[in-house]
Amino acid sequence: MPTPRSSMRKIREVLRLRYELGLSQPRIASACQLGVNTVYRYLRRARAAGLGWPLPEELDDHALERLLFPHRSGARTDLPPEPDWEQVARELTRKGVTRHQLWLEYREQEPKGYGYSAFCVHLRRHVGREQPSMAQLHTAGEALYVDYAGMTVPIQDGETGEQAPAQVFVAVLGCSQLIYTEAAASQCSSDWLNAHIRALTYIGGVPECIVPDNLKSAVQRPHRYDPQLNRAYAELAEVYGFAVVPARVRAPKDKALAENAVLIVEREILAPMRDRRFFSLAEANAAIRERLDALNERPFSRRAGSRRQRFEELERAALRPLPTHPFEPALWRRLQLGSTYHVEHAGHSYSVPHGLIGQEVELRITAAALEIFHASQRVAAHPRHDGPGGAKHPERAHAAAPPGLRGARRRADAALGRGRRRGDRHATAPGARKRPATPRKASGRRTPAPGSSLRPTAPGSGLGAGIEPGGR
């Protein structure tokens, strides 16, 4: 396909830089973001048209284009008549209709029309199928391509009989094309991260980069040049030591191996199990693993060896080792700290240093803990609680709240259902065990027992003096 012609404004700039400033062709190409050969062709056409600088004021862009590109300014009259390509494309979708049959019908109407080869070339150009594809060379240990299959695995509830579709995760190495696949409950962040961990464990190493699609569990905000990754996914990449290179939006060729691996998994693993009934993910994954191992051991049809053999020979040694400590997937949340200097998660409130009121904080939530970060620094950490309860305080004490926050603290206590008794320094959380009352130290005043009266005691007498049962 020919390179698109530059605008007339840019061609005018090329002429100005050459004839007014006397710049060389490489410098003109660098200044105008053009190729050196393109600059040379524009200058050659200008000399052939007798153009210099400055250009005549009455020479507009259309006139300049006709002078520089005379054979493109008008329609050619020597071309054969063209058919209605839209109609040809529609007819080609009908069953039994071939391009040769459509060409024969076209030549019956236009005996001097295109030949069959030219007819097919113009048809491909019209339907947009003539797009060049660059051959991708995959280096050992360079990339792992991941995606979800379109087909799902139904998991049946043994008690109710209801079926829930399980998502099928697929990963493939670039060089050896070793495939890993498993069934997961969903495509949420935790299942996405755990599938990566098991895939890297299956291949026994870590590649240089992983190429995912633009689902929310991987990419928070897709962008052609600066995509924003999901925080939990970026943390997994940091722990395992690989780079995340998301495919471009609506560019399936960026991860063509993943698309092909998905097709292989659907045909070789999922389709043969279409009539089987599974009652748990573990049962489904056991059946998938059996067919997966057979698939990786199967010889290639057009070259020697198998996926497993190429992996052992070429790619295993190029992978980096797995981390020594297992990664714990976490859920990240970003929010602005309110005036109550507490954050809420799953019905529980967790305190944050009051100095961060009005600022943005991030929550890192794992199965056992909830950590709070500000500017990439941890400012508080709490044990995670999912049962009934109230506010949770951090492992280390925060600075005392200033006097201006007393009203905010009382409002926070009221919002969380906590009462504050006079003289009690601690709020009582709903559902929490109350602190037992501390017995007061004995003093000169004593509380009379029921049915007794308390009279003044003479100095030096015993503690029980002056108490008369039933007295008034």
pLDDT of residue 170: 97
Domain ranges of the chain: 8-72, 85-127, 143-318, 331-415
Q: Tokens 């506010």 label which residue? A: 391
List the single range of 65-74, 88-97, 295-304, 428-437 with lowest mean pLDDT.
428-437
Q: How many CA atoms lie within 13 A of 95 on its CB side?
A: 0
pLDDT at 46 exceeding the cut of 50: yes
Spatial distance between the Cα atoms of 49 and 100, rounded to a whole number of angstroms: 45
Q: Is it true that 8-72 and 143-318 share their CATH fold? A: no
Other C-beta atoms lying within 10 Å of the C-beta of residue 114: 20
Q: Over the stretch 299-321, which tens digit does the pLDDT of each residue have?
A: 998 888 999 999 999 999 999 99
What is the C-alpha R_g of the chain? 38
CATH number for the domain whose boundaries are 8-72: 1.10.10
Sign of torsion, CA 16 17 23 28?
A: negative
Q: Which of 137 and 304 is assigned the larger pLDDT?
A: 304
pTM of the model: 0.57
Q: Which of 82 and 378 is assigned the larger pLDDT?
A: 378
Q: Over the stretch 327-372, which tens digit does the pLDDT of each residue have?
A: 888 888 899 999 999 999 888 999 999 999 999 999 999 988 999 9
Helix (H, G, I), strand (E, B) or coil at 79: coil
Both tokens of residue 320?
Answer: 């980096």
- H and E: helices and strands count for the chain: 13, 17
- DSSP element (H, E) containing 211: strand 209-211
pLDDT mean across residues, the chain: 81
CATH number for the domain whose boundaries are 143-318: 3.30.420.10
Per-residue pLDDT band for 237 (boundaries 50, 70, 90) equals very high
pLDDT of residue 71: 65
DSSP for 27-53, written as a single string = HHHHHHT--HHHHHHHHHHHHHTT--S
